Amino acid sequence: MPTKDIAGVTVEVNEEGYLTDPTQWTQAVGEAIAVEEGISLMTEEHWKLVHFLQKDYAENGVMPTIRRVKSTGGIPVKELYALYPGGPLKKSSKIAGLPKPASCI
């Protein structure tokens, strides 16, 4: 398994750069990945989605869909795209240290 140094931590990643072990995630790792993904400042709204994804994944073992994020997480779809342009679940799951959602290409 390839590794990558992120925020001074060596983590295991897959070929697309997603962490393969969510326990290696820290907020500093998430912030560094966000910068790599073009998000220079993680706001409280950004972290709300990250923490929702982590909690939902831990409880269900699968990545939630955008529909689930909207209905269960209470985050409107327009807001998701504003916070994470170019693929809100793809980017936010990477920042959260979680697998790439199956719905993302």
Q: Give pLDDT tens digits for 44-80.
A: 999 999 999 999 999 999 999 888 898 888 889 999 9
Instruction: Give bridge partners of residue 19 from the DSSP assignment.
Output: 13
Helix pair 44-60, 88-95: axis angle to 10 deg: 80
pLDDT of residue 105: 59
Q: How far apart are CA 44 and CA 50, in angstroms?
A: 10
- 1 in Cβ contact with 33 (< 8 Å): no
Q: Which helix (H) or strand (E) holds 4?
A: strand 3-6
**Among residues 40, 8, 5, 13, which one has the least CA distance to residue 98?**
13
Catalytic positions, written as ranges: 104
Q: Decide if pLDDT at 4 tops 80.
A: yes
The percent of residues in the chain predicted with pLDDT above 90, rounded, is: 77
pLDDT digits (tens, 9 = 90+) for 9-50: 999 999 999 999 999 999 999 999 999 999 999 999 999 999
